[in-house]
Structure 1
Amino acid sequence: MSYLVLARKYRPRTFSQMVGQEHVVQALTNALEQQRLHHAYLFTGTRGVGKTTVSRILAKSLNCQGPDGQGGITATPCGVCQACTEIDAGRFVDYTELDAASNRGVDEVQSLLEQAVYKPVQGRFKVFMIDEVHMLTGHAFNAMLKTLEEPPEYLKFVLATTDPQKVPVTVLSRCLQFNLRPMAPETMQEHLARVLETEAVPADAQALRLLSRAARGSMRDALSLTDQAIAFGAGQLREAAVRTMLGSVDRSHVFRLVEALAQGDGKTVVETSEDLRLHGLSAGAALEEMSLVLQRMAVVQAVPEAADTRDEEGAAIARLAALMPADETQLLYSICLHGRGELGLAPDEYAALTMVLLRLLAFKPGAAQKKTLAKADHAESAGVRAAHHQPTNTAPLPTRDADGRLAVRGESPHPSVSSSPPQPLRSDVAAPTARSPAPGAAPPSPQPPRPTAPPGHVLPVVEPRQAGTRPSAAPSANNGEVVGVPVRVPPEPARETPSAVPSVAPTPDGDFWQDTVQQLVEREAITALVRELALQAQLVARDEGHWMLRVERESLNQAVARERLRNALQALGHAVDLSVEVGTVTDSPARRNAAAAARRQQAAEQIIYNDPFVQQMQREFGAKIVPGSIKPVEKH
């Protein structure tokens, strides 16, 4: 006994058995019930979504005779009469299927149309079904146009194609077009569960989910993959076996990659990529799975209520969504999408996968800033090390003894006074020159200790070239000047230049023209070019029954625009004639609106710049106001 594959065994026989195409089923059902039948139908959609199936059900609905042989046109064919059974078996004489992929010439189409002159032999209607109709030649399309437009009343055309863009518009205009959509993975998973329950095949929900996603919207592909998975799993569907058969990437690898990228852990990224290589998993499938996970993460970040934490996978995605910023999620999603096209360009797809993943770390938001800070810290550390390794002829730092007198570290200013532990140099002393007192000279009078500088006080910097200009005592072998190390002070953030206010030279008629144009705009009496003419124009003079306008661009001075503006003014109560000249405009509604907007912008910028909190953030953290980010709030 030959085995009948699931895709053929479970092909829908009636409209009620159709899955995922409710919009097409509803339209055809209503047309059949109301007897409003068109003579030509065009079904479009990807492979395996039901185009041929709908065609056969439609043919049975048109020719069904009912169980008792007394039936008529119906939306629910009986499936037991001669017409229904023979159409299902593919041997009904009045139902003809033509494969246009292999019969695409004008001769084949003409031989088919020659049968149109004969009435049906068994059924109520002749039905010509042409599959992949876009494969027909131009001459073949032209040969069928006349018959397709005015066929006999007993003839119905059903066309099917996966590429409607290649069908001539002359054919499209003669047909009712129905687009069969790709089926959602959830819809296919539910249908597969019902089929396997009927077949008594045990299956995991996760295995069915993998098969549904791998089918990419095609129910026929989903059933064919299910057949393959049953054979691979020895009569049962388990997630591990299905994942191995499909070469899919385990979501645990994807979660580990996303978490490592969120934490900037390049080592884990490289190790996980090597694990994929060792397990023989597809690099393209890895990027595809990452794209799916990142898409769900972005949805959770935008709409937290959409998080589904009922299963482990949903909980993991919610955790990663909280771990990675939204901008990095969008960046990584874009990198994964574009990286799939680069896998075939590289000599090793796993090396290409590693480069795609490491690209996020290179272009991660804030990475450049961290790199710059690291370089600055390295340079600062090098400067400090250089300062500690000064030549031996550099003078030691002076210290202050217990009596407050300055002394060079390592020697005592007075032989009878023991040296005290060195104290830090005061910030208000500018690099004094240490010298030993002359023998017999009176020791200098002790000075009271001065208070230390408050936190944040900047030490004065002494340039090396200024050392020779300072007054100093007699040279000594152990003394010298202390050269201050420059202290880096971050510059104040540059303040954004306030927006300039456009110049407006008010004229006597400016206020009147501004109010008039504003009324026309609010009433939507003028649009497009006429509205632009009114806004850009200046009312130069107005007399009894005549107004003179001035514009700067000749393109605005068009007769049609002037006439429409005159009609709008007449409807507003100003029955005048308009004249338009080209010249310099100093006062127009557009200039006034721009000046008002600039003043509002300046006021908004002043509020932000003068805000104490903003100023504190600029001083303490070096915050900057992004140019162009300040917008005034429009009052409605």
Structure 2
Amino acid sequence: MSYLVLARKYRPRGFDAMVGQEHVVQALANALTQQRLHHAYLFTGTRGVGKTTVSRILAKSLNCTGPDGSGGITASPCGVCDACRDIDAGRFVDYVELDAASNRGVDEISQLLDQAVYKPVLGRFKVYMIDEVHMLSTTAFNAMLKTLEEPPEYLKFVLATTDPQKVPPTVLSRCLQFNLRPMAPQTVQEHLARVLGEEGIASEPGALRLLARAARGSMRDALSLTDQAIAFGGGALAEAGVRQMLGAVDRSHAVRILEALAAGDGAGLVAAVDALRGLGLSAAGTLEELATLLQQMAVLQAVPEAGDTDDPDAPTVARLAGLLPADETQLVYSIALHGRAELALAPDEYSGLMMVLLRALAFRPAGGPAARAPDTAATAAARPRPAPSTVASAPSRPTLAAAAAAAPAPAALRVEAPEPPPWLDAPDELAPADEAAAIAAPPAVPAPLAAPTVNATPLGDRWNALVRRMVEANTIGALVRELALQAQCIGVEQSVWTLRVERETLRSAANVDKLQEALGAALGAPVRLVVEAGAVDDSPARREAAERARRQAEAEQIIHDDPLVRALLAQYKTARIVPGSVKPH
């Protein structure tokens, strides 16, 4: 008898057996119960989260006849009627699964749609399930649009994809879309424990925890890895064997690294990296385990009661959380995350790991482990507000540059700290009297940009109104519109309009003729346009530029007159308002 892998043997047969997708199960179960059935469904999500499984359960729900053959549409298919058994076995004639990765052309889709005109042979509904639908060609998508929008009442479409961004919006708008989420490691671990319990296979919680994390949210991956681990362990799952199979880094290495960081022990960090190199363990896996441990420490430091009491490593996490202050935990966590991306750029991954850990050591905040007690809720509330001082002695405004300059380097790595930049010599706070005087004294306001001068005339008002009317009516465009905006009206005698334009390129005969025609249409009578060369001081364009400059100046003046802005400019001597950053509404 052939062996059936765990991922297929324990595929859920009903909605009640699904785990980790409660939001999808609830929506579909309610729709089936209330008979509010859509004609097309789209299931999205990463591999192994249950897209095909949900499709098969939905097909069974639509076609189930019950144990006695008299049942109807239900959210709980019986699993024993002919329709349920045939769908599970993959031989139900009215349930068609199409792999779009290998049947992506218009011919395959057309052949499938040609069968849609025939009613179901055995079932209540005909269900077409198209997997990896984003792989279909553009012509194939276009071929199915009409049928997908208005299918026969007995036809249901179920589409599944791991990349919904590649599905055309015309298809998305015709479907109900459900996003199946990656499963939490705890959910995967609990399901693996149930499966192994039914299989009668002994397992250690640490081994299941490693498998759940390695699955990355995919239940199928978790069950496949479990199959591999059973074979590797000879029928049992031990944590050491699973860790060896996955190549995972033992937590003791991450604990040793954090203890060396907390003690400022550079030699200990170098020895830890050498040990990892000797064992052939992954540098990326080390940083991943380090980040996981730091995340658990940060949670414990912020919310002590949020610790996982069932985790055998909980006492170790609690001990490490007391060695590092909360801000340093966050800093090392960030360095570990960014360090994983830099490993590919290093000469080799172990030298990259070494530099990441030495960076975490070099950027440790000033004071060292003895002088800086870890933050707790009580100590944070009782900590007095620091007195006004320079940045070098004020931990209320930490920066990486200040921390790197002030932190004592280990003996083997000690270097001369660079002089702080000049802006760090300014005091953080002003005395009350100085602050009041600074607020009272208005800060220097940069001179606004010079606005173009406009010598407004009645003819200019009339011409400006006419140009605006033609622009809004879209009767002039491109160079003709630019000619009208840059022109100044200097005379009107009966039907003759005289304009003055400075730019020679705008005064072409073709542009003048088009503007003359548009002007006659706007006035309702034929006109003749005369355009001469010369400087202008009243044109629609100059008026618009002058208005923009006025509004800009008003906006900048409002910002400079704001009391908060004046206080900030007075407190921080090098502060300034970036030119161009103020925009009028």
Q: What is the TM-score with the length of structure 1 in the denominator?
A: 0.62
Are 1:308 and 1:315, in contact at CA under 8 Å, matched by a contact in 2? no
- Structure 2 partner of 1:75: 75
Match of 2:406 among 327, 346, 369: 369
Q: 1:511-533 CA distances to partner (integer Å, 9 max, x unpaired)?
A: xxxxxxxxxxxxxxxxxxxxxxx
SS at match of 1:130: strand
Q: Select the structure of larger CA radius of gyration.
A: 1
Letter in 2 for 1:330: Q
Note closer, same or farther for the CA distance 1:206–1:373 as it changes in structure 2 (3 Å cut): closer
Find the aligned partners of 2:282 and 2:348 in 1 and give their Cα distance.
12
Are 1:61 and 1:75, in contact at CA under 8 Å, matched by a contact in 2? yes
Are 2:265 and 2:410, in contact at CA under 8 Å, matched by a contact in 1? no
Give % identity.
68
- The correspondence of residues 528-567 of structure 1 with structure 2, limited to 5 A, is none
- Structure 2 partner of 1:452: none
Note closer, same or farther for the CA distance 1:282–1:601 as it changes in structure 2 (3 Å cut): closer
- The correspondence of residues 331-350 of structure 1 with structure 2, limited to 5 A, is 331-350=331-350
Note closer, same or farther for the CA distance 1:601–1:349 as it changes in structure 2 (3 Å cut): closer
Letter in 2 for 1:106: V
- Structure 2 partner of 1:460: none
- Structure 2 partner of 1:224: 224
Find the aligned partners of 1:100 and 1:92 in 2 and give their Cα distance.
20
Note closer, same or farther for the CA distance 1:588–1:35 as it changes in structure 2 (3 Å cut): same
SS at match of 1:323: coil
- Structure 1 partner of 2:16: 16
Question: Higher relative CO (CA 8 A, sep ≥ 6), structure 1 or 2?
Answer: 2
CA RMSD of aligned residues (A): 3.2
**Higher fraction of helix:** 2
Note closer, same or farther for the CA distance 1:163–1:555 as it changes in structure 2 (3 Å cut): farther
Find the aligned partners of 2:559 and 2:213 in 1 and give their Cα distance.
56
Note closer, same or farther for the CA distance 1:500–1:85 as it changes in structure 2 (3 Å cut): same
- Structure 2 partner of 1:130: 130
Q: 1:197-234 CA distances to partner (integer Å, 9 max, x unpaired)?
A: 11110111111111111101001111111111111111
Note closer, same or farther for the CA distance 1:364–1:37 as it changes in structure 2 (3 Å cut): same
- The correspondence of residues 327-406 of structure 1 with structure 2, limited to 5 A, is 327-365=327-365, 366-370=403-407
Are 2:133 and 2:161, in contact at CA under 8 Å, matched by a contact in 1? yes
Would you say how many aligned residue pairs link Structure 1 and Structure 2? 424
CA apart distance, 1:598? 4.8
Letter in 2 for 1:321: A
Deviates more, 1:36-45 or 1:103-112: 103-112
SS at match of 2:281: coil
- Structure 2 partner of 1:326: 326
CA apart distance, 1:352? 1.8
- Structure 1 partner of 2:254: 254
Unpaired runs of 5+ in structure 2?
Answer: 366-402, 417-423, 444-542, 576-585
- The correspondence of residues 429-508 of structure 1 with structure 2, limited to 5 A, is 494-495=426-427, 498=435, 499-501=438-440, 503=442
Note closer, same or farther for the CA distance 1:49–1:556 as it changes in structure 2 (3 Å cut): farther
Q: What is the TM-score with the length of structure 2 in the denominator?
A: 0.67
- Structure 2 partner of 1:200: 200
CA apart distance, 1:101? 0.8
- Structure 2 partner of 1:264: 264
- The correspondence of residues 57-68 of structure 1 with structure 2, limited to 5 A, is 57-68=57-68
SS at match of 2:322: helix
Letter in 1 for 2:88: D
Deviates more, 1:182-191 or 1:493-502: 493-502
Letter in 2 for 1:303: V
Are 1:361 and 1:367, in contact at CA under 8 Å, matched by a contact in 2? no
Note closer, same or farther for the CA distance 1:54–1:556 as it changes in structure 2 (3 Å cut): farther
Find the aligned partners of 1:19 and 1:334 in 2 and give their Cα distance.
33
SS at match of 1:288: helix
Note closer, same or farther for the CA distance 1:255–1:555 as it changes in structure 2 (3 Å cut): farther
- Structure 2 partner of 1:292: 292
Find the aligned partners of 1:360 and 1:584 in 2 and give their Cα distance.
48
- Structure 1 partner of 2:151: 151
Letter in 1 for 2:97: E
Find the aligned partners of 1:584 and 1:99 in 2 and give their Cα distance.
63
CA apart distance, 1:597? 7.3
CA apart distance, 1:626? 12
SS at match of 1:333: helix
Find the aligned partners of 1:152 and 1:81 in 2 and give their Cα distance.
25
- Structure 2 partner of 1:210: 210
Letter in 1 for 2:166: K
Are 1:300 and 1:306, in contact at CA under 8 Å, matched by a contact in 2? yes
Note closer, same or farther for the CA distance 1:98–1:310 as it changes in structure 2 (3 Å cut): closer
Find the aligned partners of 2:71 and 2:3 in 1 and give their Cα distance.
34
Are 1:196 and 1:202, in contact at CA under 8 Å, matched by a contact in 2? yes
Note closer, same or farther for the CA distance 1:107–1:277 as it changes in structure 2 (3 Å cut): same
CA apart distance, 1:14? 0.5
Find the aligned partners of 1:150 and 1:195 in 2 and give their Cα distance.
42
Are 2:266 and 2:410, in contact at CA under 8 Å, matched by a contact in 1? no
Note closer, same or farther for the CA distance 1:81–1:357 as it changes in structure 2 (3 Å cut): same
- Structure 1 partner of 2:103: 103
Note closer, same or farther for the CA distance 1:588–1:173 as it changes in structure 2 (3 Å cut): same
Note closer, same or farther for the CA distance 1:83–1:374 as it changes in structure 2 (3 Å cut): closer
Letter in 2 for 1:28: L
Unpaired runs of 5+ in structure 1?
Answer: 380-491, 505-552, 559-580, 606-624, 629-636
SS at match of 2:182: coil
Note closer, same or farther for the CA distance 1:144–1:325 as it changes in structure 2 (3 Å cut): same
- Structure 2 partner of 1:173: 173
Letter in 2 for 1:368: A
Find the aligned partners of 1:583 and 1:3 in 2 and give their Cα distance.
77
